Amino acid sequence: MARLSGKVTIITGAAGGLGRVAALQFAREGSHIVVSDLIDGQSAVDEIKSAGGSAAYIHADVTSEDSWKEVVGFANSTFGSVDVLYNNAGVMLGEDDNPVTTPMSVYERTMDINVKGVLLGCKYAIPHMIEQGKGTIVNVASFVAHMGAATPQIAYTASKGAVLAMTREIAVIYARKGIRANALCPGPVMTPLLAAFLDNDAKRNRRLVHIPMGRFGEPEEIANGALFLASDESSWMTGQSLIIDGGITAAYVTPE
């Protein structure tokens, strides 16, 4: 039996990058997918449908309460439920650097999308999950919620630490209501988000030396973790951080 058979999953930022690959994988496992994004997600929906899956797109901004009301309403009216909330949308902005140079506007925009966006998703999905007595939440943080880097993106790192802490608290609050919440902490995967940041060989190699496995991750390898957290296979797991990073956070010295 498919691992998410009949479940309804909202995935934010599902028009591209990691979210889109996860959307395809979740759909392959039997979930109806609400593709939610600021940019047009119709091609993601078409790709899911041509592979035999079920999906619908809604334009939404994760920082907007009105958008979230619409997204949860749309999931209910289109597919009849909200079983999984996959808070994937996130940004790493160009001028995000060290604490001295990072403009406060960059900090505020990053926190708005990466932290408030996750909180709002929970705010509007949880009441529905409480009503139905079950639900799972997967919040995308990052390995930088666990480790510091001397090539900083201070706002991004702070935002992902907040996602991790918030996820733990949500997990504890709702543990007896049938709702589980876990954080997914990917290492570097070559999506548009990372490609914009590591835009030359020197920068890419500076990262690669810290990855014991010697390569960037593949989007499918992150989606596999999300699938595990979203499905009943992780039924006794809540408030945790699942790190998928090629060994980065395990390493003190990496292999030659």
83 binds ligand NAD (CB under 6 A): no
Q: Among 2-10, 33-41, 225-233, 236-244, which window interacts with ligand NAD (CB under 6 A)?
A: 33-41
Alpha-carbon span 192 to 207, nearest angstrom: 16
156 classed as catalytic: yes
How many of the other CB atoms lie within 10 Å of CB of 102?
20
Residue from 50, 176, 192, 236 touching ligand NAD (CB under 6 A): that is 192
Tell me the residue length of the chain.
256
Query: Is position 208 an interface residue for ligand NAD (rule: CB under 6 A)?
Result: no
**Cβ within 8 Å of residue 233, ≥6 positions away:** 3
Taking the mean position of all CA atoms in its chain, how far away is CA 251? 24
**Closer residue to ligand NAD in complex, CB, 61/83:** 61
Helical ranges in the chain per DSSP H? 17-28, 42-50, 65-79, 104-111, 117-132, 154-173, 192-197, 201-208, 219-230
Rounded least distance, CB 244 to ligand NAD, Å: 9
Write down the H helix ranges in 80-218.
Answer: 104-111, 117-132, 154-173, 192-197, 201-208
Q: In the numeric block, which tokens belong to residue 196?
A: 């914009």
Residue of the chain from 91, 120, 126, 243 that contacts ligand NAD (CB under 6 A): 91
Q: Which of 1, 150 has the CB closer to ligand NAD? A: 150
Report the residue number, 62 or 84, with the smaller CB distance to ligand NAD.
62
Q: How far apart, in whole angstroms, are the C-alpha atoms of residue 135 and residue 139?
A: 13
| Set 57, 124, 156, 174: catalytic member | 156
d(CA 216, CA 210): 10
Pick out residues in 39-58 that bind ligand NAD (CB under 6 A).
39
User: What part of residues 127-146 is at the interface with ligand NAD (CB under 6 A)?
Assistant: 140, 142
Options 2-10, 86-94, 97-105, 225-233: segment touching ligand NAD (CB under 6 A):
86-94
Judged by CB under 6 A, does residue 88 bind ligand NAD?
Answer: yes
Site residues (vs ligand NAD, CB under 6 A) = 12-13, 15-19, 37-39, 60-63, 88-91, 113, 117, 140, 142, 186, 188-189, 191-194
**Catalytic residue ranges:** 156
